[in-house]
């Protein structure tokens, strides 16, 4: 198995799927000549030409709509948002068109398309550029929402997303692009809606997705040194959510901490907690706790930005709390 | 809907520009375009020769002394922005500044040209490429640098950083990170001015790539429909990140977009501060006295990469192109004109440069010594506190 970056894994998925199906095309800002704002689409223009790798003006609502139109009549668009922060301008097409088209048309018009791009905060990009949107999108019936945390998952899930006949929002992590991991040489596809148990332990379940997978794994590693063993359940897809995987883990550990990048109120973790209380009420030995971004817009200054973000120490503290361990 | 107050009252009150037939200054260089003449523009141009002579008057004060003072002050404003940005790049490289940081080098005549003609009670709004405008408006280098450093003495206490400079007392309304997002906000400010019956104006700076965004069109339509005192100033620096204007806009002469809204419009050489000022003066007068918006395309060039994370020349533009534009450095152009006029000696230039460099160094020292914001500030200003009385 080769060790490649998350960026390369995504690039491979795009390349393989575009080669496999000539209805698939990539459209977005700087995807072609500039080779991608984050170089995810590197080399694709050269390989597939300008009809299939299309630079757009800065016109998110417009090109998201172009994607919807093309999908209505049989193409399979991949619409790249330079970051999901800018997708807010396009939400009308994502939510009012793509997500509802099949339903409104009584099944006549599936939307086999992917909206993708980096999500969440990076470093010191301040309030307008540091937002994790998966809970917003996961709220919408008619969408699937995928949030991969590793190169392996990024590749296999993006391939599945492109092959899916439904609109899939695919949220990458800007801070993950350079992270590395093993990716098989042979082709593979990871089904959407299946969680992955990234680490096993009996004491507490860490339920997470996206960029926070790495945070949860690091926390679990450090906790293991103190003899605390955690399950790390990587949801990978937050809609549909793999309830069975969550329930199985919590029934085993009897305790859970949900870690997510975004805000607390109505976050993904709130939904996880609901599934847990409904399905594992008699199994719980402690209230489920959540680790998330502070309930504020993201500030610029380094120290307060750090304070705002969920991280390893906050995760460790939450696990100890559900285990009633005082430090 | 019709805004409640008529602008007529202040047309009478506001000082109308006289149509004095001042000599047409060589400074007034509305750039030629290779495009076919736009009848609407020429029509309007013909109809407004009165303000045109006033415009050239603004650049050519009667006495040599006044001219020298004016030109020196313009040069100073431009050079301050240049030196500030050069040091900003350095501070970024050594990690004192983080996040996205977009330099203004090459475009200084645009901010300077417009802002030098504004009144204290006028408003400015701009994009994330905002250091130049902030300095031109009189935000102190200390307040800007401390913000870039993320310190409490920054103009927004370290909350915003490079892309989000604001100062209410200067009518400086940001510093906005979402392309196009601030353009309707400018229309809103114009609406409020008209609503209150004031005669201020708002200058809305934007990049040329923003005109492809729906927000631009929605804002221009409302501004034209409701006759709002807005100047929409497009800094056409040829690129939106790595995309040349021809690759993003169906119309290469961006100012022509104003035709869709029947809005007065012009295209201006943005490397010539006098050309910018002439166009600015006319548009400001139109907004102030007639409450009419104007769309101005200012042709300039981005001397640096899009941001600190983008190479200076990159793959999307050639070194030759960059070098060609570097020759039309707005500061060098002004400097040589002043030298020709006998308004700037070598010693005066050096003294100004030294003084500015010291001011910028001072801003760095100041930022360095300013404390980081305390942790509890993270939770401040999410909402206005309505619990206490
Ligand atoms: C809605 C939105 N889409 C994309 C971006 C990312 N982005 C930031 S600046 C920029 C280019 C803008 O170019 P232009 O308007 O010409 O301004 P310039 O940077 O040249 O000053 C892009 C694509 C953004 N900030 N907002
Ligand atoms: Mg530009």
Write the CATH number for A30.
Answer: 3.40.50.970
What is the model's pLDDT at position B286? Answer: 98
Using one digit for the tens of pLDDT, what is the confidence trace for B319-335?
999 999 999 999 999 99
Residues A160 and A217 in one domain: no
Q: What CA–CA distances, in Å, run from B59 to A184, B18, B26, B63, B106? A: 68, 16, 10, 11, 21
The answer to whether position A137 is within a domain reads: yes
Please give the share of chain B, as a percent, with pLDDT higher than 90.
80
Question: What residues make up the domain containing A13?
Answer: 2-183
Mean pLDDT of A146-153: 98
Contact B100 A129 (CB under 8 A): yes
Nearest-Cα distance to chain A for B384, in Å, is 13
Same domain, A32 and A165: yes
**Mind giving me the DSSP string for A64-80?**
HHHHHHHHHTT-EEEEE
Q: Helix (H, G, I), strand (E, B), or coil: what is residue B271?
A: coil
B177 contacts A124? CB cut-off 8 A: no
Q: What is the structure's pLDDT at B26?
A: 34
User: What mean pLDDT, rounded, does chain A reach?
Assistant: 98
In this prediction, residue B199 carries a pLDDT of: 98
What CA–CA distance (Å, rounded) separates B337 from B299? 20
B300: CA distance to ligand 2 center in Å?
9
- Chain A residues 248-267 with a CB less than 8 Å from chain B: none
Cα B276 to ligand 2 centroid, rounded to whole Å: 17
Question: Which is more confident, B134 or B54?
Answer: B134
Task: For chain B, give the mean pLDDT.
Answer: 88
As to burial, measured by CB atoms within 10 angstroms (0-12 exposed, 13-18 middle, 19+ buried), residue B348 is: middle
**B318-374 pLDDT tens trace:** 999 999 999 999 999 999 999 999 999 999 999 999 999 999 999 999 999 999 999
* Residue where a domain stops, chosen among A183, A213, A233: A183
CA distance A46 to B247: 17
Give me the sheet containing B202-207, strands edge to edge. B172-176, B123-127, B202-207, B230-236, B294-299, B265-269
Summarize pLDDT for B187-213 with one digit per residue, the tens.
999 999 999 999 999 999 999 999 999
Q: Give a yes or no: residue A188 inside a domain.
A: no
pLDDT of residue B65: 81
Q: Which one has a higher pLDDT value, B58 or A250?
A: A250
Domain contains A191: no
Instruction: List all residues of chain A from 267 to 326 with a beta carbon under 8 Å from chain B.
Output: 294-297, 299-304, 307-308
Nearest to A300 among B161, B179, B316 (CB): B161
- Strand B243-244 to A256-263 pairing: unpaired
Do A179 and A256 fall into the same domain? no
* Whether B371 contacts chain A with CB within 8 A: no
CA proximity to A219, closest of A271, A307, A308, A291: A291
Inter-chain residue contact B240 with A58, CB threshold 8 Å: yes
Q: Which residues of B touch A87 (CB under 8 A)?
A: none
Provide mean pLDDT across the span B88-107. 98
CA-nearest residue, atom 11 of ligand 1: B240
pLDDT tens track for A280-324: 999 999 999 999 999 999 999 999 999 999 999 999 999 999 999
Q: Which residues lie closer than 8 Å to A30 by C-beta, 6 or more apart?
A: A36, A37, A55, A82, B241, B242, B243
Q: Is residue A126 predicted with pLDDT exceeding 50?
A: yes
Q: Flag whether A190 is in a domain.
A: no
- Residue by residue, DSSP assigns B119-160 as -TT-EEEEES--HHHHHHHT--HHHHHHHHTT-TTSTTTTSS
A8 with A148, same domain: the answer is yes
Q: State whether B247 and A303 contact (CB < 8 Å).
A: no
User: Does A189 fall in a domain?
Assistant: no
Last residue of a domain, one of A183, A211, A245: A183
Comparing B214 with B54, which gets the higher pLDDT? Answer: B214
Dihedral sign, CA of B109, B112, B115, B118?
negative
pLDDT number for residue B344: 98
A301 vs B179, B373, B382: nearest CB: B373
What beta strand segments (E) does B189-312 contain?
202-207, 230-236, 239-240, 243-244, 265-269, 294-299
For residues A272-286, give the mean pLDDT.
98
A153 within domain boundaries = yes
- Protein residue with least CA distance to atom 12, ligand 1: B240
Residue from A84, A86, A128, A130 nearest A306 by CA:
A130
- Ligand 1 atom nearest to CA at B181: 1
Q: Is residue A32 part of a domain?
A: yes
Classified as helix, coil or strand, B233 is: strand
Does residue A58 have its Cβ closer than 6 Å to ligand 1? yes
Scanning every residue of chain B, which has its alpha carbon at the shortest distance from the alpha carbon of A90?
Answer: B214
Is A129's Cβ below 8 Å from some Cβ in B? yes
A318 and A220 in one domain?
A: yes
Question: Is B237's C-beta closer than 6 angstroms to any atom of ligand 1?
Answer: yes
Please tell me if residue B264 touches chain A, with a CB cutoff of 8 Å.
no
Tell me, yes or no, whether A162 and A311 share the same domain.
no
Tell me whether residues B378 and A294 touch, CB distance under 8 A: yes
Query: Inter-chain contact A128–B382, Cβ cutoff 8 Å?
Result: no
Check if B221 contacts A (Cβ < 8 Å).
Answer: no
Say if A16 falls within a structural domain. Answer: yes
Note the pLDDT of residue B5: 40
pLDDT bucket at B61, cuts 50 / 70 / 90: confident
**pLDDT greater at residue B130 or residue B48:** B130
Q: What are the tokens at B195?
A: 């609503």
Which residue of B92, B129, B159, B251 to mutate against A (max A Cβ within 10 Å)?
B159
Q: What is the CA radius of gyration of chain A?
A: 19
Domain count, chain A: 2
Shared-domain flag, residues A171 and A238: no
Query: What average pLDDT score do residues A5-30 get?
Result: 98
Q: At what angle do helices B273-290 and B330-341 cross, to 10 degrees?
A: 100
- Please give the pLDDT value at position B311: 85
Q: What is the pTM of this model?
A: 0.92
Question: Are the beta carbons of A57 and B159 separated by less than 8 Å?
Answer: no
Domain termination site, one of A122, A155, A183: A183
Q: What is the 3-state secondary structure (H, E, C) of A265-290?
A: CCCHHHHHHHHHHHHHHHHCCCCCEE
Over the stretch A46-101, which tens digit does the pLDDT of each residue have? 999 999 999 999 999 999 999 999 999 999 999 999 999 999 999 999 999 999 99
Same domain, A160 and A216: no
Q: Tell me how far apart the alpha carbons of residues B121 and B164 are, in angstroms, rounded to a whole number.
A: 21
CB proximity A34 to B under 8 Å: yes
User: For B207-224, what is each residue's pLDDT tens digit?
Assistant: 999 999 999 999 999 999
Test mutation, A29, A36, A59, A264, chain B, max B CBs within 10 A: A59
Q: How many CB pairs under 8 A join A and B?
A: 123
The pLDDT of residue B17 is: 34
Asked if the model's pLDDT at residue B27 lies above 60, the reply is no
Beta-sheet pairing, A144-146 with A237-239 = antiparallel
A61, A175: one domain: yes
pLDDT band, residue B57 (cuts 50/70/90): low
Kindly state whether residues A106 and A211 are assigned to the same domain.
Answer: no
**In what helix (H) or strand (E) does residue B78 lie, and over which residues does it extend?**
helix B64-93
In contact, B110 and B300? CB cutoff 8 Å: yes
| Whether the Cβ atoms of residue A309 and residue A120 lie closer than 8 Å to each other | no
The answer, yes or no, to whether any atom of ligand 1 lies below 6 A from the CB of B311, is no
- pLDDT value of position B56: 56
User: CB of B305 closer than 6 A to ligand 1?
Assistant: no
**Across-strand partners of A3?**
A182
Tell me, what's the pLDDT at B121?
98
CATH of the domain at A305: 3.40.50.920
Residue of B nearest to A297 (CA): B382
Interface mutation vs chain A, best among B91, B96, B98, most A CBs within 10 Å? B98
The closest CB to that of B98, out of A124, A129, A297, belongs to A124
User: What domains can you pick out in chain B, each with its CATH number?
Assistant: 19-25+38-368 (3.40.50.970)
Residues A214 and A311 grouped into a single domain = yes
- Min Cα separation A285/chain B (Å): 32
Of B133, B182, B209, the residue with max ligand 1 atoms within 8 A of its CB, to mutate for a pocket test, comes to B209
| Domain co-membership, A138 together with A176 | yes
């Amino acid at each position: 198995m080769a060790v490649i970056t998350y960026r390369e894994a995504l690039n491979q998925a795009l390349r393989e799927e575009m080669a496999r199906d000539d209805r698939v095309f990539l459209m977005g800002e700087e995807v072609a000549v500039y080779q991608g704002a984050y170089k995810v689409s590197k080399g694709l223009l050269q390989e597939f030409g300008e009809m299939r790798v299309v630079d757009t003006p800065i016109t998110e609502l417009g090109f998201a709509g172009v994607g919807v139109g093309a999908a209505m009549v049989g193409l399979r668009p991949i619409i790249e948002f330079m970051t999901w922060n800018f997708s807010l301008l396009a939400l009308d097409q994502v939510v009012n068109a793509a997500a509802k088209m099949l339903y409104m048309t009584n099944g006549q018009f599936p939307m086999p398309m992917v909206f993708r791009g980096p999500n969440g905060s990076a470093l010191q990009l301040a309030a307008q550029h540091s937002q994790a949107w998966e809970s917003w999108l996961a709220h919408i019936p008619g969408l699937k929402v995928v949030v991969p945390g590793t190169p392996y998952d990024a590749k296999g899930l993006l391939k599945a997303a492109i092959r899916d006949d439904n609109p899939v929002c695919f949220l990458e992590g800007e801070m993950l692009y350079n992270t590395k991991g093993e990716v098989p040489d042979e082709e593979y596809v990871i089904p959407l809606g299946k969680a992955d148990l990234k680490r096993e332990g009996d004491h507490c379940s860490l339920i997470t997705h996206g960029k926070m997978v790495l945070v949860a794994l690091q926390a679990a590693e450090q906790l293991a040194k103190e003899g605390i063993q955690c399950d790390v359940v990587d949801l990978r897809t937050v809609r549909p959510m793999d309830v069975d995987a969550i329930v199985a883990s919590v029934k085993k550990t009897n305790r859970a901490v949900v870690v997510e990048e975004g805000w607390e109120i109505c976050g993904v973790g709130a939904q996880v907690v609901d599934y847990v209380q409904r399905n594992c009420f008699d199994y719980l030995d402690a209230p489920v706790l959540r680790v998330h971004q502070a309930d504020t817009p993201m500030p610029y200054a380094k120290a307060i930005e750090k304070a705002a973000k969920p991280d390893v120490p906050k995760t460790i503290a939450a696990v100890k709390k559900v285990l009633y361990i005082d430090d | 809907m019709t805004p409640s107050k008529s602008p007529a009252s202040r047309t009478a009150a506001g000082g109308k520009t006289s149509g004095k037939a001042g000599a047409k200054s060589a400074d007034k260089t509305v750039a030629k375009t290779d495009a076919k003449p736009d009848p609407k523009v020429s029509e309007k141009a013909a109809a407004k020769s009165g303000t045109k002579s006033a415009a050239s008057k603004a650049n050519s004060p009667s006495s040599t002394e006044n001219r020298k003072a004016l030109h020196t002050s313009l040069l100073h404003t431009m050079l301050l922005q240049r030196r500030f940005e050069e040091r900003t790049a350095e501070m970024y490289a050594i990690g004192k500044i983080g996040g996205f940081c977009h330099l203004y080098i090459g475009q200084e005549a645009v901010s300077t040209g417009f802002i030098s003609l504004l009144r204290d009670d006028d408003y400015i709004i701009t994009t994330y490429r905002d250091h130049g405008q902030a300095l031109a408006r009189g935000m102190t280098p200390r307040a800007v640098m401390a913000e870039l450093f993320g310190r409490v003495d920054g103009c927004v206490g370290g909350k915003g950083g490079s892309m989000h400079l604001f100062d209410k007392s200067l009518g400086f309304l940001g510093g906005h990170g979402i392309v196009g997002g601030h353009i309707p906000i400018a229309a809103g400010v114009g609406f409020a001015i008209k609503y209150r019956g004031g005669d201020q104006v708002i200058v809305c700076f934007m990049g040329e790539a923003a005109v492809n965004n729906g927000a631009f069109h929605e804002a221009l339509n409302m501004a034209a429909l409701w006759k709002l005192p807005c100047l929409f100033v497009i800094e056409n620096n040829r690129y939106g990140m790595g995309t040349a204007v021809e690759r993003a806009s169906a119309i290469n002469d961006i100012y022509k977009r104003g035709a869709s809204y029947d809005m007065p419009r012009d295209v201006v050489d943005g490397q010539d501060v006098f050309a910018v000022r002439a166009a600015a003066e006319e548009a400001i007068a139109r907004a102030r006295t007639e409450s009419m918006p104007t769309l101005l395309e200012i042709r300039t060039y981005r001397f640096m990469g899009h941001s600190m994370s983008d190479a200076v020349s990159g793959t999307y533009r050639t070194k030759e192109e960059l070098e060609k534009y570097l020759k039309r450095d707005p500061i060098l152009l002004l400097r040589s004109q002043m030298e020709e006029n006998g308004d700037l000696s070598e010693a005066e230039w050096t003294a100004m440069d030294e003084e500015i460099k010291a001011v910028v160094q001072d801003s760095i020292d100041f930022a360095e010594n300013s404390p980081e914001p305390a942790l509890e500030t993270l939770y401040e200003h999410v909402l206005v506190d309505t619990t206490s009385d």
